[in-house]
Amino acid sequence: MRGVEAMAQRPDGSMFPFLPFPTPIRNADGDLVGAVNMLVDISDRKLAESNQRVFLDELNHRVKNNMTMLYALIRSAERESHSTEARAVLGDAAQRVGAMAAAQQVLYTEHDQTGVYARDFVRACDSARQAFSKDVTLHIDVDARYLRNDITMPLALILNELLTNAAKHGCDDSGRCEIWISLMRSDDEYVLTVRDRGPGYDFKDTGRRSSGTGLIS
């Protein structure tokens, strides 16, 4: 057997991880006459991998805590502000930080450090339900199974803006709002769709990166 990791016991009773490289020896007629087996000790590699996991877990934990603290500080400033415009800006900023914190939380809890499960990620980015007192119902359809880490933060911000817009403008007279989220994988692309029962609008890039549509663009 090759390409597998196993444990071996030394004569003193200590154990060590190794990779086996068995090689059969055959004569001119092709008959098996013997074999050579080499065991490669990978103790140092396993130790390095363990240290790396501990480092990444600690890093993710600190980032998560810092985002949570930042979110709390912005919310506190929003509550204490006497300016309506300032409260609106701080509220938007807090919600965006909250979306990033939700994405970071999913990354932190995943064992695989290269990506996350798409369905878990989309559900974690559901900030509309917490941000508004209105009755918001989400219908989530996720076909993409896996998301790479490098696209999670932009996707979290885009989802946050679209859900916020839908929760603000897509509700009926009674305050009830239904939102459909679809994330599909098509060849090498991800297709995200967010829709509601609202009146709709023409999406135009405002040119201001701080605005919702500007951030999405």
- CATH number, position 150: 3.30.565
Q: What is the pLDDT of residue 216?
A: 82
If asked whether residues 14 and 56 sit together in one domain, one would say: no
Containing H/E element for 160?
Answer: helix 149-169
Residue 42: the pLDDT is 92
One-letter identity of residue 173: D
Instruction: For residue 139, give the amino acid letter.
Output: H
Taking CA 100 as the corner, what is the angle to CA 134 and CA 162, rounded to the nearest 5 degrees?
45
The reported pLDDT for the residue numbered 134 is 62
Helix (H) or strand (E) run with residue 108 in it: helix 84-109
Residues 17 and 97 in one domain: no
pLDDT along the chain (217 residues), means of 10: 89 93 92 92 89 80 83 89 88 82 71 71 66 73 81 84 82 81 85 86 63 77
Residue with tokens 């490098």: 150
> Do 60 and 160 share a domain, yes or no?
yes
Strand ranges in 53-174 using DSSP code E only, listed in sequence order: 115-117, 135-142, 146-148
Q: Are residues 24 and 99 in the same domain?
A: no
Specify whether 28 is located in the same domain as 103: no
- The CA distance from 72 to 83, in Å, is 19
Are 29 and 10 contained in the same domain? yes
Q: In angstroms, rounded to a whole number, what is the distance separating the alpha carbons of residues 162 and 159?
A: 5
Cα separation, 59 vs 66, in Å, equals 11
Residue 1 lies in a domain: no
- The answer to whether residues 59 and 76 belong to one domain is yes
Residue 94 covered by a domain? yes
Confidence at residue 19, expressed as pLDDT on a 0 to 100 scale: 93
Number of structural domains in the chain: 2
Are 66 and 151 in the same domain?
yes
Residues 29 and 111 in one domain: no
Say if residues 154 and 188 touch (Cβ distance below 8 Å): no
Q: Do both 51 and 16 map to the same domain? A: no
Task: Count Cβ atoms within 10 A of the Cβ of residue 119 and give its class: 0-12 exposed, 13-18 middle, 19 or more buried.
Answer: middle
Instruction: Look at residue 34 in the predicted model and tell me its pLDDT.
Output: 94
* 131 in the same domain as 102: yes
Count Cβ atoms within 10 A of the Cβ of residue 40 and give its class: 0-12 exposed, 13-18 middle, 19 or more buried: exposed
- Say how far apart CA 144 and CA 188 lie, in whole Å: 11
Residues sharing a CB contact under 8 Å with residue 208, sequence separation 6 or more, in sequence order: 214
CB 124 within 8 A of CB 142: no
pLDDT at position 109 is 66
**Do 83 and 169 belong to one domain?**
yes
User: Could you tell me the residue range of the domain that residue 211 belongs to?
Assistant: 45-216
